[in-house]
Amino acid sequence: MKICIVSDSHDRSEPLAAAVAAAHTAGAKAVIHCGDVIGAHTLRASLKLGLPIHVVHGNNLGDPMAIQNLMAKSNGHLVYHGMDATLELGGKRIFVTHYPHYGRGMACTGDFDLICCGHSHIAEVVTFNNVKGGHTVLVNPGTVAGIHAPGIVSPYTWILGDLEHMTFEIRTLEQ
Protein backbone atom coordinates (compact mmCIF):
# COMPACT_ATOMS: atom_id res chain seq x y z
CA MET A 1 0.00 0.00 0.00
CA LYS A 2 1.31 3.42 -0.95
CA ILE A 3 0.67 6.46 1.23
CA CYS A 4 1.23 10.20 1.08
CA ILE A 5 2.87 11.74 4.15
CA VAL A 6 2.73 15.53 4.54
CA SER A 7 3.19 18.06 7.30
CA ASP A 8 3.27 21.75 8.10
CA SER A 9 0.87 23.00 5.42
CA HIS A 10 0.25 26.15 7.51
CA ASP A 11 -2.98 27.25 5.82
CA ARG A 12 -1.64 26.74 2.30
CA SER A 13 -4.11 24.50 0.54
CA GLU A 14 -2.63 24.65 -2.99
CA PRO A 15 0.69 22.89 -2.30
CA LEU A 16 -1.07 20.40 -0.01
CA ALA A 17 -3.57 19.52 -2.74
CA ALA A 18 -0.72 19.32 -5.29
CA ALA A 19 1.15 16.80 -3.11
CA VAL A 20 -2.00 14.74 -2.51
CA ALA A 21 -2.81 14.77 -6.24
CA ALA A 22 0.75 13.67 -7.13
CA ALA A 23 0.57 10.90 -4.54
CA HIS A 24 -2.84 9.80 -5.83
CA THR A 25 -1.40 9.60 -9.36
CA ALA A 26 1.50 7.51 -7.97
CA GLY A 27 -0.97 5.05 -6.44
CA ALA A 28 -1.34 6.32 -2.86
CA LYS A 29 -4.42 5.04 -1.03
CA ALA A 30 -4.28 7.30 2.07
CA VAL A 31 -2.79 10.55 3.37
CA ILE A 32 -1.17 11.16 6.74
CA HIS A 33 -0.83 14.83 7.77
CA CYS A 34 1.60 15.31 10.66
CA GLY A 35 0.20 18.59 11.92
CA ASP A 36 0.14 22.36 11.57
CA VAL A 37 -2.81 22.32 9.18
CA ILE A 38 -4.19 25.51 10.84
CA GLY A 39 -7.64 25.92 9.21
CA ALA A 40 -10.20 23.48 7.89
CA HIS A 41 -10.26 25.25 4.51
CA THR A 42 -6.66 24.02 4.00
CA LEU A 43 -8.02 20.46 3.69
CA ARG A 44 -11.02 21.03 1.41
CA ALA A 45 -9.22 20.79 -1.98
CA SER A 46 -7.34 17.67 -0.85
CA LEU A 47 -10.54 15.99 0.35
CA LYS A 48 -12.05 16.41 -3.12
CA LEU A 49 -9.37 14.03 -4.45
CA GLY A 50 -11.08 11.16 -2.61
CA LEU A 51 -8.24 9.75 -0.49
CA PRO A 52 -8.79 9.23 3.25
CA ILE A 53 -6.82 11.83 5.21
CA HIS A 54 -5.56 11.25 8.77
CA VAL A 55 -4.62 14.47 10.59
CA VAL A 56 -2.99 15.30 13.92
CA HIS A 57 -2.59 18.84 15.15
CA GLY A 58 0.69 20.52 15.91
CA ASN A 59 1.84 23.58 17.79
CA ASN A 60 -0.05 25.88 15.38
CA LEU A 61 -3.45 24.54 16.24
CA GLY A 62 -5.65 27.00 14.34
CA ASP A 63 -9.33 26.06 14.50
CA PRO A 64 -9.81 22.48 15.72
CA MET A 65 -13.61 22.87 15.90
CA ALA A 66 -13.79 23.78 12.20
CA ILE A 67 -11.65 20.72 11.40
CA GLN A 68 -13.96 18.56 13.57
CA ASN A 69 -16.97 19.96 11.70
CA LEU A 70 -15.35 19.26 8.34
CA MET A 71 -14.58 15.72 9.51
CA ALA A 72 -18.24 15.20 10.46
CA LYS A 73 -19.27 16.13 6.91
CA SER A 74 -16.52 14.14 5.12
CA ASN A 75 -18.24 10.72 4.96
CA GLY A 76 -15.25 9.20 6.74
CA HIS A 77 -12.63 10.65 4.37
CA LEU A 78 -11.15 12.93 7.06
CA VAL A 79 -10.13 11.64 10.47
CA TYR A 80 -8.89 14.28 12.91
CA HIS A 81 -7.08 12.40 15.66
CA GLY A 82 -6.05 15.26 17.95
CA MET A 83 -2.53 15.32 19.40
CA ASP A 84 -1.31 11.98 18.02
CA ALA A 85 -2.61 8.88 16.26
CA THR A 86 -2.08 5.15 16.17
CA LEU A 87 -3.06 3.73 12.78
CA GLU A 88 -2.92 0.43 10.98
CA LEU A 89 -2.54 0.79 7.23
CA GLY A 90 -1.32 -1.82 4.79
CA GLY A 91 -0.74 -4.23 7.68
CA LYS A 92 1.71 -1.82 9.37
CA ARG A 93 1.38 -0.17 12.77
CA ILE A 94 1.93 3.57 12.41
CA PHE A 95 2.31 6.28 15.03
CA VAL A 96 1.74 9.90 13.99
CA THR A 97 2.80 12.97 15.96
CA HIS A 98 3.87 16.49 15.11
CA TYR A 99 7.00 16.50 17.23
CA PRO A 100 10.25 14.79 16.12
CA HIS A 101 11.56 14.25 19.68
CA TYR A 102 8.33 12.45 20.59
CA GLY A 103 8.56 10.45 17.35
CA ARG A 104 12.16 9.38 18.02
CA GLY A 105 11.16 8.17 21.49
CA MET A 106 8.24 6.17 20.09
CA ALA A 107 10.50 4.67 17.39
CA CYS A 108 12.72 3.17 20.09
CA THR A 109 9.83 1.24 21.69
CA GLY A 110 9.49 -1.25 18.85
CA ASP A 111 5.70 -0.98 19.06
CA PHE A 112 5.41 0.52 15.59
CA ASP A 113 6.71 -0.16 12.09
CA LEU A 114 6.57 3.50 11.08
CA ILE A 115 6.66 6.82 12.91
CA CYS A 116 5.51 9.97 11.09
CA CYS A 117 6.32 13.42 12.46
CA GLY A 118 6.80 17.01 11.29
CA HIS A 119 7.54 20.35 12.98
CA SER A 120 11.18 20.86 11.91
CA HIS A 121 10.33 21.68 8.25
CA ILE A 122 13.28 19.44 7.31
CA ALA A 123 12.53 16.25 5.39
CA GLU A 124 14.26 13.07 6.52
CA VAL A 125 13.93 9.29 6.60
CA VAL A 126 15.77 7.55 9.45
CA THR A 127 15.81 3.91 10.57
CA PHE A 128 16.17 3.27 14.32
CA ASN A 129 17.14 0.08 16.11
CA ASN A 130 14.40 -0.48 18.68
CA VAL A 131 14.42 -2.15 22.10
CA LYS A 132 12.70 -5.27 20.71
CA GLY A 133 15.67 -6.03 18.46
CA GLY A 134 14.02 -4.80 15.29
CA HIS A 135 13.96 -1.64 13.23
CA THR A 136 11.50 1.23 13.08
CA VAL A 137 11.43 3.83 10.33
CA LEU A 138 10.87 7.49 11.24
CA VAL A 139 9.84 9.86 8.46
CA ASN A 140 9.51 13.62 8.57
CA PRO A 141 8.14 15.01 5.29
CA GLY A 142 9.39 18.53 6.00
CA THR A 143 6.97 21.26 4.98
CA VAL A 144 4.58 20.85 2.06
CA ALA A 145 4.10 24.65 2.19
CA GLY A 146 7.78 25.46 1.65
CA ILE A 147 7.91 27.56 4.80
CA HIS A 148 11.38 27.87 6.22
CA ALA A 149 12.59 27.81 9.78
CA PRO A 150 14.90 30.71 10.71
CA GLY A 151 18.12 30.44 8.73
CA ILE A 152 16.91 27.47 6.66
CA VAL A 153 15.57 27.45 3.12
CA SER A 154 12.89 24.77 2.91
CA PRO A 155 11.68 23.26 -0.34
CA TYR A 156 8.04 22.17 -0.71
CA THR A 157 8.45 18.55 0.37
CA TRP A 158 6.31 15.48 1.04
CA ILE A 159 6.92 11.74 1.20
CA LEU A 160 5.56 8.92 -0.92
CA GLY A 161 5.70 5.76 1.17
CA ASP A 162 5.35 2.15 0.12
CA LEU A 163 4.27 0.17 3.18
CA GLU A 164 4.66 -3.20 1.50
CA HIS A 165 8.37 -2.61 0.89
CA MET A 166 8.86 -0.05 3.71
CA THR A 167 10.46 2.43 1.33
CA PHE A 168 9.98 6.18 1.62
CA GLU A 169 10.88 8.74 -1.03
CA ILE A 170 11.17 12.45 -0.27
CA ARG A 171 9.48 14.32 -3.10
CA THR A 172 9.64 18.04 -3.92
CA LEU A 173 6.88 20.11 -5.48
CA GLU A 174 7.87 22.42 -8.32
CA GLN A 175 7.01 26.03 -7.45
**Residue 171 confidence (pLDDT) above 70:** yes
Boundaries of every domain in the chain? 2-172
CA distance 167 to 113: 12
Global pTM reads: 0.96
CA distance 81 to 85: 6
pLDDT, tens only, 87-146: 999 999 999 999 999 999 999 999 999 999 999 999 999 999 999 999 999 999 999 999
CA distance 175 to 172: 9
CA distance 13 to 154: 17
What pLDDT, on a 0 to 100 scale, did the predictor assign at position 72?
96
Tell me the CATH number of domain 2-172, given options 3.40.50.740, 2.130.10.10, 3.60.21.10, 3.60.110.10.
Answer: 3.60.21.10
Q: In this structure, are residues 77 and 54 in contact, taking their beta carbons and an 8 Å threshold?
A: no
